[in-house]
């Protein structure tokens, strides 16, 4: 495979497209599939076939279009989208292709939700068929790696990434260029490249969507990384709860291997790289890099103290580059367009765009990609469409169980790594859960503590026992049986866990509690002193405050766990 052959595939694919007069795109990502978009696609295909229009009309399954709450989504042109499409609407949609749009299903695309996004990672999502490599190549795919292999030294690739200012999208925001450069300089052979696709934050589905909508982008990112650091083997650690992502990744790897874009002597050079999948067995802590590496090695997924960092001694004791799905997905466009192009987007210290998964009490639930530095208000009210049913915004939770809850007075803060950290939360992997006045912040804190307690690996004492004790206190507060000394104890435990836990899970487990204690202290006081919950969520329950005994509609915890499913 060289650049000409790649171009030939792209040209053939584009010619085939030109013959098609109407392309009907049906979202085939997890969100829409779960509301029967497969049936919609089958019905549309059958309708086209019945009318004998296969030559000019093409029905294509594509990745996520973003507005998951309105699915199944169908796009008939760049400007025309339909929402809540059912199989029965197939005839009407095919009729509309050469006539007037179907009004009752119309999904306006000139709204801020679509207009204010800036798509780099998601540029192909909802456009290409994730199960066809030719579609990806036609959109300029694999050009970056072929170019890099023929025209760039590994050092130049790294310097391009460094120039771009890209930072790790897994949450901590470590400069990607620096990490690559460290691994490339580390002594040891072989070296490994790992893609962390163990996305586990409640309410977050960015990585899942990227893998389901554009898996080749991640493979290309890993290829470029492997070339830059000198690795010849890579692993994608993807959680087993994402069967569709796994299926599409397997297909993508097979296709890339067939075209000689993965395997030995790629593009006729001495560079060889192969990628294997490793499936996570459902432990949240395996998203922590050292635990993930242990799990890939076939050991129990528990973290170990760092240093040594994986860049020095990682998988099987070898230098290992480990990045998140979204980080790799950013790499091909950076190499294609140059680091300087990327560095123009975003803020001074946080470059580029970030994908956020909007969930909770917000009008437009779904996936958005926005430039760094946009304000929370723009995301919540403009892009997200505000809070439904005329309720009042209360808080936004970012960063999952490691993050915090930001109150209304943080709404005008720019969204970047530093600002979020200063406000007591973190960027995290990109989950944003919006809460309105019907949510009780103590209950939210308890929900996340319950998550950390059950997901603690049990290795170090502060996290194993501390999360249990904190959860016990928070349960007492939400049962309205807690006293003032309990609150003091809670603060002591927050401090202990933050400073003494072994890994990031334990160190950041107190964050939801600390941030709600800071911004919503009066709610804690009301629960403890006045035995009242303003949101009406908490109260004494017959089964001693058991989760399941709560009224369904008021139970934030249940709702969040459904979102994260």
Partner 1 sequence: MSPTNVVKPGTKPVQPASNVKTLQIDGKDFSARPEETILDVARQNKIFIPRLCELEGLSDVGACRLCLVEVKGSNKLLPACVTRVYEGMEVTTNSPRLAAYRRMIIELLFTERNHICSVCVSNGHCDLQWMAQKLGLTHVHFPYRYPKANVDASHERFVIDHNRCILCTRCVRVCDEIEGAHVWDVMGRGIDAKVVTDLNEAWGNSETCTSCGKCVHVCPTGALSEKGHAVAEMEKRRHFLPYLTMMRESQE
**Pairwise CA distance, residues 312 & 479, whole Å:** 48
Tell me which of 283, 321, 334, 494 binds partner 1, using CB under 8 A: 283
457 sits near partner 1 (criterion: CB under 8 A): yes
Q: In the complex, what is the shortest distance from the CB of residue 463 to partner 1, in angstroms, rounded to a whole number?
A: 8
DSSP output for 221-250 = HHHHHHHHHT--EEEEEEETT-HHHHHHHH
> In angstroms, what is the minimal distance from the CB of 410 to partner 1?
25
CB of 89 to partner 1, least distance (A): 46
Candidate list 63, 428, 462, 504; residue touching partner 1; CB under 8 A: 462
Piece in contact with partner 1 (CB under 8 A), picked from 101-109, 180-188, 454-462, 554-562: 454-462
Could you tell me how many residues of this chain bind partner 1 (CB under 8 A)?
Answer: 32
Q: In angstroms, what is the minimal distance from the CB of 306 to partner 1?
A: 9
**Between 49 and 488, CB nearer to partner 1:** 488
Question: Smaller CB distance to partner 1: residue 498 or 532?
Answer: 498
Task: Mark residue 57 as left, alpha or beta (left: phi above 0; alpha: psi -120 to 50; beta: remaining).
Answer: beta
Residue 466 C-beta: closest distance to partner 1, Å: 6
458 binds partner 1 (CB under 8 A): yes
Structure tokens at 238: 């993807």
- Write down the least CB distance from residue 493 to partner 1, Å: 8
| b/e 312-341 (16+ beta carbons within 10 angstroms → b) | bbbbeebbbbbbbbbbbbbbbbbbbeebee
Q: According to CB under 8 A, which one of 454, 536, 562, 565 is a site residue for partner 1?
A: 454
d(CA 91, CA 58): 14
Residue 397's closest CA among 287, 560, 535, 173? 560
Nearest-approach distance from CB 496 to partner 1, in angstroms? 5
Burial state string for 115-142 with b = 16 or more CB within 10 A and e = fewer than 16: eebbbbbbbbbbbbbbbbbbbbbbbebb
Residues 45-104 that bind partner 1 (CB under 8 A): none
Minimum distance, C-beta of residue 329 to partner 1, in the bound complex (Å): 30
CA dist 535 and 557 (Å) reads 14
Phi, psi torsion values for 131, nearest 5 degrees = -100, 10
Name the nearest CA neighbour of 299 among 311, 310, 291. 291
Q: For residues 108 and 114, what is the distance between their CA atoms, to the nearest angstrom?
A: 9
Q: How far is the CB of 208 from partner 1 (least distance, A)?
A: 23
Q: Does 450 bind partner 1 (CB under 8 A)?
A: no
State CA 435 to chain mean position distance: 20
Interface residue with partner 1 among 84, 116, 377, 464 (CB under 8 A) is 464
- Determine, following the binding rule CB under 8 A, whether residue 279 of this chain makes contact with partner 1: no
Residue 456 in contact with partner 1, rule: CB under 8 A: yes
* CA–CA dist 191, 512 (Å, integer): 37
- List, in sequence order, every beta strand (DSSP E) within 159-273: 192-197, 233-239
Distance CA 515, CA 484 (A): 19
Q: How far is the CB of 225 from partner 1 (least distance, A)?
A: 28
Among 499, 540, 544, 565, binds partner 1 (CB under 8 A): 499
Pick from 331, 10, 5: nearest CA to 150: 5
Binding residues among 345-384 for partner 1 as defined by CB under 8 A: none
Q: Which of 194, 453, 477, 528 binds partner 1 (CB under 8 A)?
A: 453
Beta bridge partners of 354: 370
Residue 467 binding partner 1, by CB under 8 A: yes
Task: Give the DSSP H or E segment for 14.
Answer: helix 3-19
> Chain centroid to CA 175: how far?
18
492 counts as binding partner 1 under rule CB under 8 A:
yes
Binding segment for partner 1 (CB under 8 A), chosen from 9-17, 107-115, 451-459, 530-538, is 451-459
Asked if 286 touches partner 1 (CB under 8 A), the answer is: no
Q: Which is nearer to partner 1, 46 or 461 (CB)?
A: 461
For partner 1, which residue of 100, 305, 409, 543 counts as binding (CB under 8 A)?
305
Residue 462 C-beta: closest distance to partner 1, Å: 6
Two tokens at 390?
């005329």
Does residue 468 touch partner 1 according to CB under 8 A?
yes
Asked whether 231 and 322 are in contact (CB, 8 A), the reply is no
First to last CA, the chain: 40
* Smallest distance, partner 1 to C-beta of residue 300, A: 7
469: contact with partner 1 by CB under 8 A: yes
- Binding test (CB under 8 A) with partner 1, winner from 32, 380, 460, 535: 460
Report DSSP letters for 520-563, one per residue: -HHHHHHHHTS---TTS-----TTSS-GGGS-GGG-HHHHHHHH
Q: Which is nearer to partner 1, 267 or 497 (CB)?
A: 497
- Closest approach, Cβ 285 to partner 1, in A, equals 8
CA dihedral sign of residues 452, 455, 460, 466 = positive
Q: Is 422 near partner 1 (CB under 8 A)?
A: no
User: Based on CB atoms, which residue is closest to partner 1, 340 or 461?
Assistant: 461
**Considering the rule CB under 8 A, would residue 544 count as an interface residue with partner 1?**
no
Closer of 254 and 300 to partner 1 (Cβ): 300
Ramachandran class of 539: left when φ > 0, alpha when ψ lies in -120 to 50, beta otherwise: left
Catalog residues that contact partner 1 under the rule CB under 8 A.
Answer: 283, 285, 300, 304-305, 307, 453-469, 472, 489, 492-493, 496, 499-502
């Amino acid at each position: 495979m060289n650049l000409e052959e790649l171009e030939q595939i792209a040209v053939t694919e584009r010619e085939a497209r030109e013959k098609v007069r109407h392309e009907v795109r049906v979202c085939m990502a997890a969100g829409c599939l779960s509301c029967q978009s497969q049936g919609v696609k089958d019905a549309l295909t059958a309708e086209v076939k019945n009318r004998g229009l296969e030559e000019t009309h093409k029905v294509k399954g594509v990745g996520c279009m973003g507005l998951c709450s309105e699915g199944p989504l169908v796009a008939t042109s760049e400007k025309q989208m339909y929402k809540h499409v059912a199989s029965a609407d197939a005839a009407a949609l095919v009729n509309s292709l050469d006539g007037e749009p179907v009004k009752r299903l119309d999904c306006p695309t000139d709204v801020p939700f679509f207009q204010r996004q800036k798509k780099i990672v998601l540029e192909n999502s909802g456009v290409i068929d994730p199960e066809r490599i030719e579609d990806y190549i036609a959109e300029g795919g694999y050009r970056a790696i072929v170019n890099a292999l023929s025209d760039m030294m590994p050092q130049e690739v790294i310097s391009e990434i460094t120039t771009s200012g890209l930072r790790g999208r897994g949450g901590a925001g470590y400069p990607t260029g620096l990490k690559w450069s460290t691994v490339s300089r580390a002594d040891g052979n072989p070296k490994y490249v790992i893609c962390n696709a163990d996305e586990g934050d409640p309410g977050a589905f960015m990585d899942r969507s990227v893998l389901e909508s554009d898996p080749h982008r991640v493979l290309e990112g890993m290829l470029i990384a492997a070339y830059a650091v000198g690795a010849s083997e890579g692993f994608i650690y993807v959680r087993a709860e994402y069967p569709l992502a796994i299926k599409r990744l397997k297909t993508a790897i097979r296709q890339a291997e067939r075209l000689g874009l993965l395997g030995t002597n790629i593009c006729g050079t001495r560079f060889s790289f192969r990628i294997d999948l490793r499936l996570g067995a459902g432990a949240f802590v395996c998203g922590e890099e050292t635990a993930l590496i242990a799990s890939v090695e076939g050991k129990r997924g528990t973290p170990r103290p760092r240093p040594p960092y994986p860049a020095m001694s990682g998988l099987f004791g070898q230098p290992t580059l480990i990045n998140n799905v979204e980080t790799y997905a950013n790499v091909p466009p950076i190499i294609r367009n140059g680091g300087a192009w990327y560095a123009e987007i975003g803020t001074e210290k946080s470059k580029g765009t970030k994908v956020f998964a909007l969930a909770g009490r917000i009008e437009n639930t779904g996936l958005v990609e926005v430039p760094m530095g946009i304000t929370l208000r723009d995301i919540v009210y403009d892009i997200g469409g505000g809070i439904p049913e005329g309720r009042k915004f209360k808080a936004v939770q970012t960063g999952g169980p490691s993050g915090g809850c930001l109150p209304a007075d943080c709404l005008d803060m720019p969204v970047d790594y530093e600002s979020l950290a200063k406000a007591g939360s973190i960027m995290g992997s990109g989950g944003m859960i919006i809460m309105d006045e019907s949510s009780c912040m103590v209950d939210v804190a308890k929900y996340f503590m319950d998550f950390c307690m059950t997901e603690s690996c049990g290795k170090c004492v502060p996290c194993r026992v501390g999360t249990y004790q904190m959860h016990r206190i928070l349960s007492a507060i939400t049962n309205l049986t807690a006293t003032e000394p309990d609150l003091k104890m809670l603060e002591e435990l927050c401090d202990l866990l933050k400073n003494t836990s072994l890994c990031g899970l334990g160190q950041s487990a107190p964050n939801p509690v600390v941030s709600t204690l800071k911004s919503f202290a009066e709610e804690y006081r009301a629960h403890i002193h006045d035995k009242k919950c303003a949101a009406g969520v908490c109260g004494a329950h017959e089964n001693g405050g058991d989760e399941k005994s709560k009224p369904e509609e008021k139970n934030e915890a249940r709702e969040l766990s459904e979102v994260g499913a």
